[in-house]
Structures are given as structure tokens and as C-alpha cells.
Structure 1
Amino acid sequence: MQPSVPQEYLPDESDRPDYIHPLPELHYSQEINAAEQLVDVHVRNGHGDAVAIHFEDEEITYAELQERVNRMGNALTDLGVEAGDRVVARFPNRPEAIVTCLAVQKIGAVALPSMKLLRAKELRYIINNAEASAVVVYDGLVEEVNNALPDLDTVDDVIVAQRNGVEHDHHDYDELLEAASSELDAYPTERDDLALMLYTSGTTGRPKGAVHTHRHVLSTADGYARYCIEPTEDDVFGGNPPLPFAYGYGDLVTFPLRFGASVSLVEDASPEDLLEATEEHGITVMCSIPTGYNQMLSQHPNATDEYDLSSLRLGLSAGEPLTPTTFENVKEEYGIKLLDGIGTTEMLHIFISHRHDEEIDPTATGFAAPGYEGKIIDPDTGEECERGEAGLLAVRGPTGVEYWNRPEKQEDAVADGWSLPGDIFVQREDGRFEYKSRNDDLIVSSGYNIPGPEVEAVVEEVEETSEVAVVGSPHEERGEIVKAFVVTAEGVTGDDALVEKIQNHVKDTLAPYKYPRAVEFVESLPRTETGKIRRTELRERERQ
């Protein structure tokens, strides 16, 4: 293991998940470096002139990316960053973010991408918890770093990429790269050395640091992506998940670079920006969350007439449940199928999904992705459930849940070597896994267990609704009742008649006890930076 990684911060062997590597592609050599595999290999193989990154009007080839990574790696080394050190990369979706993360990994250190909306208090906790030695930051995001800096215990250097003329008293990103050598050999990392740290959003408490090795990073591409997406060098990945989001890191860094493809980066992408990027950069694989697709459809109903979207061949969706309505709308409007998938920060990427070339059932998430196994267990006894019976999802494969210095959380996240992402699923007779809810999204009303997302999918079928979130609201007699927070479609006013229509539609579609006894119309739903609905906030509002 890298010299400066405190072993006491990593899980004990007894609390770690059991890793399995059933695919031949996952049998990596003992010495391997993810950054070298994602960039240098392509240059050595004569692919250096191919475009790796599209950003605005710029095209960065693999050879140019390699040079920038090498210069950044040497600059960090010159500042004293050593193998195993944690380095924060704080950027919107820009090339400097990819360059920084790859450079950190190439010198044997650990990349820690940071969500751009985090405030000083949150940064202070994460950076001190990770004991990071350096921060590389976009000048538009440096203010919160400066606010946190007096209380950062381990940070020796701050490097600022000045793109907006923001004044600072730190190292200059461009000057460091210009002065550094363009030649750099990859540090001889081993496959189980740490390469990446990602912190959970902390919606249910303090953020938790999930650690991932070089083998973990590569396996997300060599399992799920290779078999479910089947990328080629001709593909262009694009979308709006933030790079520090595990889903975004895979879609916009690991997957395109692993297969010699390219990525279209859009800073702070709006639905219109994504449509424009699809036309300009020829995006073939669109990556977003269901809300993102719904916004594209609702805000640009004539998109196929206004933009050339003919390059699209596939869409990926994760982060929140994908409803059959959204699946069908995207298929009808854009002519592509959406691959729904469930993945977590802890597991690094998607571990349940359909494959792009198989029959997709939009009412189910899919099968265990190649390289993974899944089963449904009773949350109380740990015994495996019968097919068709709802229970807690347990997964094992080439990635697993490992927390940084959180032994109390680690113990709850692994059972008998299987990782527990915290989701309620049913495994159908045909083997497909059908999502029900997060374990904490289960509504218990009069003794009935009601998955909130299941009700949401049905309410969304009512054409007058645009977005919906369903939570349990405390009730003296029933314990909880089902409550729906609804954003109406444009031009629609929420009234008693619409409440009745929503309730009747749910009663006619699902078991009657699942219908929302309360409906509240709202202008918007609270969301995390990655676009997930903050149901925790809605539940708290109801409790108060």
C-alpha cells in the first residue's frame, strides 16, 4: 500500500467485502496504474492524435492530454506531494478536473474530487477527515477554500486555475504546468493501492469517504461498460453528472478513456447546453439522471427539429429511479433506449442494469451487471428471500463498500462479505431486479410497507404533473400516510380536481392502500447537487 496512507483508517479484513473477479478482463497484473491505462496506453498504441476531450471549441488529443497530465504530476511532485497523499480537485466539469485527477493517480497519490457547491464548513470536514495535503481549485470556487483554509490541518499547498480573473495568493495552475517537465513515468502502484476517494452527499449525516483502488476504477469500465454499453473508439460520451459524482466520474472519465473514445465536457450544463453539445461534438452516449431527461423533453419539445441529434445511440440513467414514462418518452422523442442502472458512491458505479442490445423491461432496473452477483435478503435475519419477495439488496463483485475511518458505518455496510447498498428490491422469477425504494424511503402505513418511488412512478403518469416526490407523513392513527409533493406541468394549476385525479389514478393502478392521502403542490422539489430529490428534507418538513 502507498506509504502515506494510514492503514488504521482502512477497514479491518473482517469488515471488508469479499471481492470476486469472474471476468477475465478483471484479472489485472499486480502492478498497474489507472492513469497510465487510461491515457498512456493509447498514445503508445498510436492513438495519440485521436480526440480525448471536447470542451467548448477546444479538442484535446490523447497526446496533449498525456502531456498535461505529466506536467501536472511533476508540478505536484515538485511541491512535495507523495504517493498515497490525498489531493482535492475542485472544479466544475472542465478539462483541468480530469487532468488533475489523472495526474494525482499517475504519481501514486489519491484523487479526491470535490462537489463545487460545498461550503467552507463542509470542505473543512472532508479535507480534514481525508487529511489532504493539497487542493487544486478553479478560481470561481476558491472563495470557500479560502474561508476554510485557516482550519485545514494538513493542507500545504493550494493551486488555482485562474479562468475568471479572480485574484488569489496561491500557486498558479498554468505557471506550474508551464515550468514542469512533460516527461513522467507512472508510479509503480499496485492494483489494490488507493486511486480515488469520493465522499457521500451526507444527506443522512456526516459525509462518508468511500475509497477505491486502481483495480476498482478500471473494473467499472471492464465489466459494466464493456458489456452493457460496448463502447468503441468512435463513441463520444457526454452529459451533465458532475465529475465528483461516482456516476459522472465513470461516464465522463473512466469509460471514454478506457476505450480510446472521447468525452464532451460542458461546464454547468443546462438542457439546452446538452442538446447543443450533442450536435456540435457528436455525442453518442448521453449520460444523465431522469430529471435531466425530463427537463430536456419539457423545455425543448421540438429538440429533434432544432438540433441534429442523429449521433445518439444510447442513453444512461442513474441517480434516481427511472420511470417507464420517462423511458418511453425518450425512446419516442430521441429514438434511443435508456439503460437504467443502480450504483452508489461506495460501489463506484452501476452494478445492476440491462445491456444495450437485450430486451429492456422499463419496469425493472435489470440484471446483475457482468462481474457482479446480487441477491435479496431479509433485513432482520439476513436469510435470502424467495423470488418475488421484497427485501434488502446484497451485492458482491469487483467493487465493494469500504469507508475511510468510519468503522461503525463499515460494520453496517457489509454482511457475510456482501455489500449492502441500502436499497429495497424484488428479484423477479426471470432474474430481473425491480427497484422498490431506498431502505429509508419505505413508508409504513397501517402495517403496509409502501415504496415511495413506486407511487411516484404512477403519479408521474398523470399528464398534468411534471415532477413528484412521495414520502411518509406522520399520522396519529395510521403511523404514516402517503404524501405526494407535486410540481405541475407548465400552465397547469394544482387544485382539488387534480388531487382527486391523481388519487384515483393511483387507486386504479396500484393496491388502493398505496394512494397518496395527501397531495401538496409545490413550485420545485429540493435536490442535491447531483440532482437527486432530497426526500430526507421533505420527511423532516412533515415531522415538524
Structure 2
Amino acid sequence: MTEKSSHTDTFILDNLPHSNLWPEMNYSVLPELARYPARMNVASELLDKAILRGWGNLPAVRYNDMVWSYSDLLAESNRISNVLVSDYDLVPGERVILRSGNHPMLIAAWYATLKAGGIAISSMPVLRERELTYMINKAKVQLAISDFSLERDLELANDNCPSLRNIIYFGGGETPLESQVKTQSSKFNNVDTAADDPAIIGFTSGSTGKPKGTIHFHRDILAASDTFIGHVVKINSKDIVCGSPQIAFLYGLCAFIPDTMRFGASSVLVERATPEVLLQTIEKHKATVCFSTPSGYKLMLDHLDKYDLTSLRICVAGGEPLASAVYREWKTRTGVQIINGLGISELLHIFISSGVDEIKPGTIGKAVPGFKVRVVDEHFKDTEPGEIGQMIVKGPNGCRYLDDQERQKNYIKDGWNISGDLCIRDEEGYFIYEARTDDMILTGGYNVSGLEVEAVLLEHNLVREVAVIGSPDAKRGQIVKAFIELKDKRKASDILAVELQNFVKEQISAFKYPRAIEFVDELPHTATGKIQRGLLRKLEAERADQDAV
């Protein structure tokens, strides 16, 4: 760190990886990043300065029929900051876990925590006692702010979390936060944090084991929005932003807080944005920007005709690759383009994407301004255009794991973040996502990208959604298997399975076709709408073990 930290509690600072294990993070690559001051509280930059920019009366948060202006949000956040400091003795550097669906109080509590110099950790409403216990103990969390309807698992976790000294509820309880703030001032002197003081910790989904805590500084949050949103999506103060991701995930947090409020726009919050609920939200609030997943847009296609989406000007898809078929059908039927993007928890937000004038269907896009992205072979040499390799990235943001030196060593090489994603870079500099390094299907000596097979199957007019994985096979090691959800479940048959197999053979190399097809009523999804291919691989592994008995 170049500036003296404001943190009195130094647990997170003490458990950052050693600085020689950090990736290279260059803030001179863009003029707006180079102008960042050495001391910065991101809550001041996003919220307090919104008032100075003349946005005080503009809507900031919309929820059901309630609207908070930027001035309203600032006042509520300041009152909560005063509660945290005066009533719960929060000192700079302490951790506050936030537990709620998408709700205005969640955003206010997030700002309040950062204003007071705390470190905010958002958590999914669906997390159970065991998962909460792990996160709280890993980060030595001192305070929790939670929706009262989610008290059960948090109270159970509390018994096994010695660092957690208080739980504050809103929406119910004996002394809800709403009543505590009434006696507090709407003014608060924000803590003068260093730009590289930790501000938030995002826990990954844990697909490779226990969830990993990724630490992000105050300046990182601004940089994420100034690069991707400022240069690619270009949100402005007239925009109304909606979407399906939960604020508990970094994609949702960025979308509804910095991506929106850095530019004076307003966020529409929905606690559970199913495809139809999201379409209703767009129509009701005349939303202009929508954040979702490729799977989310695919599912919304089934209901488009019932809703007025003429207010939309742009859509953003993150979390997984966007199939060309979904992009084209969405654009044809709505007239709106979907900006695809690739981001990872370690870098906070999206770093590969393309604006509306540069979209190339079937690709993720190009490196977002401010970032450098390469595709390399096993010797860390750049691959030729069209060749598969591992994607590596560097930019203003980078990986810093909480208390995990070994994982940090494996993630960083020569200043580059090793993403674990396999990609192809074409002649024009566009990146095509192939798979996670552990997701490629090795069948009979051939490497097959399940996503490539999925993209073909999605072009068939009977297929609603599909997941392609490698299934254990005694002769080939693995075979390509497709789990398919049909638009009309009644049409599932062996004859259709053969038709789909031949359909794939006609489009791509024959060795890539799915030798096994299983029709399902519904594919498993994460809370953010991603298809849970890991669960399907686990299912196939268990079936193979049973067959071997």
C-alpha cells in the first residue's frame, strides 16, 4: 500500500497476500483512472458527490412503488452509518456481512458500511447455517445486517461464530434498523480511507472447493465501472437499470450500485427476478438497461410477446457465454442488442466485451479499455489466432485472496491473472470462450468444447435450453452428453434424439456430436441463472460408479 491505511482493525490488511504475489495493476492506462486520488472513499465518490453533481433529486432506487432519490439514499445511509458507529462501535477495517434479497435497505447498508470505513460482505439469501458460518469465521466478521425474514440460519450460525458480536435486522424484530435510524442524524463524516484500503470481500461460488474470499479496494469499485460501463455500456443519468442478478453476487452488486450510480442513473430492485417478473419490471418501470445472464435472456424469449419492451435500449449478459442463436432471436424480436461480457470474481467485474457498434455474435468481445488479455499455451507463449489456449489478464483490478497464499501463488504468474478459462483469439482480436480449463471434454483423444455443441443445439427449433458435459465412458474416457430441455416436453423421443445428433453432425465435426442425449423437464440453475453443469457432471460420475458395482 502506498498510502497510510485508515483501518484500525487490520485483520484483512494482515491477511492480504504478500505484495510480491499481487498481479500487476496499472492505473495509468486510462486518463480517468490516472486521476484517482491516493485517498478515496468509494461511497463518497458514488453517493455524496452525486449531490454535488446536481443529481440529488434524481431517482436512485426504485422498489415496488417506492422511489428513493439520491438525497434520500444519502440521508438513510448516513443514519445507518451513525447507528453502526455510535450504537455498535464499528471501527474502520471491521467487517459487516449483509444478508438480504435485492432491497433498498441493502444498498443503504452497503453504503453505510463503507462510509464508516468498514468492509462490506454481501451474502445470498439462500445461504444456510453452515455456509454462513464459514464466511463469517473466514473473514472474522463483527456485525451482520439482515432482512428479518432470513434470521433462522443467521441465528444458528451465530452460535459458532465467536467474532460476530451483533446482528441488526430490518423489516422486523424487536428493534428493527428502521426504528434505530429515526433518532440519528442524516449527516455523517465519511472515514478518509486510502484508495487501496479494502472495501468489499466477494466470496466465490466455491465450484472448486470452499468459497474463496476475493478482496477489492475502494478504487477497484470505481475502476470496474469506469472501464466497462464508461467505455462499453455507456449508462447515463436518464437510464433506468433493471436485471436479474442478486446484489449478493459481484455482478449484481456492480450492476445496481456503481455501474448505475456512478453515472446518475436509477436501479430497479426486484427480490426474485424470474423471467416473467423481469419482463413485467421492464414494462412497468420503462427500464432502458437490463442486466441478466444468457440463460435468463433465453428463458425470457418464451414470454416476450406478452410485454412492452420498447423502453429498452441495451441489454447486458454476463456469467456465461451468449449463444449466437439467443443473441439473434432477441435482437430480431426486440430490436435490442445484447452486450456479452466475461468477468471473474477475482477481477470484480467484466473485462472482455464489445459495445453495440462492435458486437460480433458468437464471441465474448475484445479486451475492455484498461485491460490487456492474452491467450497462451502451456509455455506461456501467445497462441496463434484460432488456437485454443488459456486466457490471462491484467488491468487496474486484480486477484487478492483472503488468507490463502498458496492459491494466490497459483493464480498469479509474471503479473498476470490466470483465469482458468480456455479461449480462442481470432484475427480481429475477438475472444471466443471455449470452457473452463477443467471443463473441456476429452473424448477418444479429442478435445471438445461443450459450449460449442450447446450453441449448435440451441439453433434447433425444438430446443429450449441445453447443457453439454463429459460423461465417464470406459472406452473413450468420456463421451459428449447433452441434457436437453425441450420447448414442448411431449416431443421427447429416441427418434428426436437421433435427429438432434444428426443436426450437430451437419454443423460441426462429427467427433463432437453428443453420443448420449437425456431429455429433462428442467436444467439445474444457480441463483443467478447460470446452468449448473457441475451438478450434471457429478450426477454422471455417480451413475458411472453405480454401474461399476
With normalisation by structure 1, the TM-score equals 0.96
* 8 Å Cα contact 1:464-1:492 kept in structure 2: no
**Counterpart amino acid of residue 269 in structure 1:** A
Question: Would you say 1:255 and 2:259 are equivalent positions?
Answer: yes
1:74-119 deviation digits (Å, cap 9, x = unpaired)? 1111111111111001010110111111110111111100011100
Structure 1 counterpart SS, 2:279 = helix
* 8 Å Cα contact 2:295-2:531 kept in structure 1: no
* 8 Å Cα contact 1:4-1:83 kept in structure 2: yes
Alignment of 1:106-125 (within 5 A): 106-125=115-134
TM-aligned CA deviation for residue 45 of structure 1: 2.6
Alignment of 1:308-319 (within 5 A): 308-319=308-319
With normalisation by structure 2, the TM-score equals 0.95
Question: Would you say 1:36 and 2:35 are equivalent positions?
Answer: no
Distance 1:339 1:230 in 2: 11
Judged with a 3 Å threshold, the aligned counterparts in structure 2 of structure 1 residues 77 and 345 are, in CA distance, closer, same or farther, namely same
Question: Would you say 1:349 and 2:349 are equivalent positions?
Answer: yes
- Which position in structure 2 is the counterpart of 1:509? 507
- Which position in structure 2 is the counterpart of 1:538? 536
Structure 2 counterpart SS, 1:196 = strand
TM-aligned CA deviation for residue 384 of structure 1: 2.0
Question: Would you say 1:337 and 2:345 are equivalent positions?
Answer: no
TM-aligned CA deviation for residue 308 of structure 1: 2.9
Distance 1:82 1:10 in 2: 19
Question: Would you say 1:86 and 2:95 are equivalent positions?
Answer: yes
1:106-151 deviation digits (Å, cap 9, x = unpaired)? 1111110001110000000011101111000001111110111100
- Which position in structure 1 is the counterpart of 2:547? none
Counterpart selection for 2:229 from 225, 231, 240: 225
Structure 1 counterpart SS, 2:253 = helix
* 8 Å Cα contact 1:25-1:223 kept in structure 2: no
- Which position in structure 1 is the counterpart of 2:21? 15
Distance 2:484 2:181 in 1: 50
* 8 Å Cα contact 2:236-2:264 kept in structure 1: yes
**Counterpart amino acid of residue 370 in structure 1:** P
TM-aligned CA deviation for residue 383 of structure 1: 2.1
TM-aligned CA deviation for residue 47 of structure 1: 1.7
Distance 1:109 1:137 in 2: 16
**Counterpart amino acid of residue 258 in structure 1:** R
Alignment of 1:319-468 (within 5 A): 319-356=319-356, 358-378=357-377, 380-468=378-466
TM-aligned CA deviation for residue 491 of structure 1: 4.5
Distance 2:462 2:495 in 1: 11
1:145-187 deviation digits (Å, cap 9, x = unpaired)? 0111100120111000125xxxx46x52112211222110211
Stretch deviating more after TM superposition (284-293 or 529-538): 529-538
TM-aligned CA deviation for residue 434 of structure 1: 0.7
- Which position in structure 2 is the counterpart of 1:302? 305
- Which position in structure 1 is the counterpart of 2:58? 50
* 8 Å Cα contact 1:43-1:63 kept in structure 2: yes
- Which position in structure 1 is the counterpart of 2:546? none
* 8 Å Cα contact 1:86-1:132 kept in structure 2: yes
* 8 Å Cα contact 1:204-1:536 kept in structure 2: no
Distance 2:490 2:334 in 1: 25
Distance 2:156 2:527 in 1: 21
**Counterpart amino acid of residue 180 in structure 1:** Q
* 8 Å Cα contact 1:437-1:454 kept in structure 2: no
Structure 2 unaligned blocks of 5 or more: 543-549
Distance 2:136 2:181 in 1: 24
Question: Would you say 1:178 and 2:182 are equivalent positions?
Answer: yes
Distance 2:522 2:167 in 1: 37
- Which position in structure 2 is the counterpart of 1:470? 468
TM-aligned CA deviation for residue 203 of structure 1: 2.1
TM-aligned CA deviation for residue 301 of structure 1: 4.0
**Counterpart amino acid of residue 217 in structure 2:** T
Distance 2:187 2:84 in 1: 14
**Counterpart amino acid of residue 520 in structure 1:** E
* 8 Å Cα contact 2:240-2:286 kept in structure 1: yes
Structure 1 counterpart SS, 2:521 = coil
TM-aligned CA deviation for residue 335 of structure 1: 1.1
Alignment of 1:187-266 (within 5 A): 187-266=191-270
Distance 2:271 2:475 in 1: 49
- Which position in structure 2 is the counterpart of 1:282? 286
Distance 2:540 2:475 in 1: 16
* 8 Å Cα contact 1:40-1:66 kept in structure 2: yes
* 8 Å Cα contact 1:455-1:514 kept in structure 2: yes
* 8 Å Cα contact 1:473-1:481 kept in structure 2: yes
Distance 2:514 2:53 in 1: 58
Counterpart selection for 2:272 from 263, 268, 272: 268
* 8 Å Cα contact 1:83-1:107 kept in structure 2: yes
**Counterpart amino acid of residue 404 in structure 1:** L
* 8 Å Cα contact 1:203-1:534 kept in structure 2: no
TM-aligned CA deviation for residue 340 of structure 1: 0.5
**Counterpart amino acid of residue 403 in structure 1:** Y
1:394-432 deviation digits (Å, cap 9, x = unpaired)? 000011111101112111111111111211001101111
Counterpart selection for 1:60 from 59, 64, 68: 68
**Counterpart amino acid of residue 47 in structure 2:** V
Distance 1:173 1:362 in 2: 47
Counterpart selection for 2:159 from 150, 155, 161: 150
Distance 2:405 2:480 in 1: 35
1:359-378 deviation digits (Å, cap 9, x = unpaired)? 31111110000110000111
Distance 1:176 1:130 in 2: 26
Distance 1:359 1:404 in 2: 37
Distance 1:240 1:535 in 2: 20
Structure 2 counterpart SS, 1:481 = strand
* 8 Å Cα contact 2:279-2:304 kept in structure 1: no
Structure 1 counterpart SS, 2:345 = coil
- Which position in structure 1 is the counterpart of 2:482? 484
Distance 1:428 1:337 in 2: 22
Distance 2:45 2:391 in 1: 32
TM-aligned CA deviation for residue 271 of structure 1: 2.0
* 8 Å Cα contact 2:489-2:521 kept in structure 1: no
Structure 1 counterpart SS, 2:347 = coil
Q: What percentage of aligned pairs have identical amino acids?
A: 37
The root-mean-square deviation of aligned C-alpha atoms, in Å, is 1.2
1:448-499 deviation digits (Å, cap 9, x = unpaired)? 1111111111111111111111111111111111011111113543111111
**Counterpart amino acid of residue 336 in structure 1:** V
Structure 1 unaligned blocks of 5 or more: none
- Which position in structure 1 is the counterpart of 2:8? 3
Structure 1 counterpart SS, 2:491 = coil
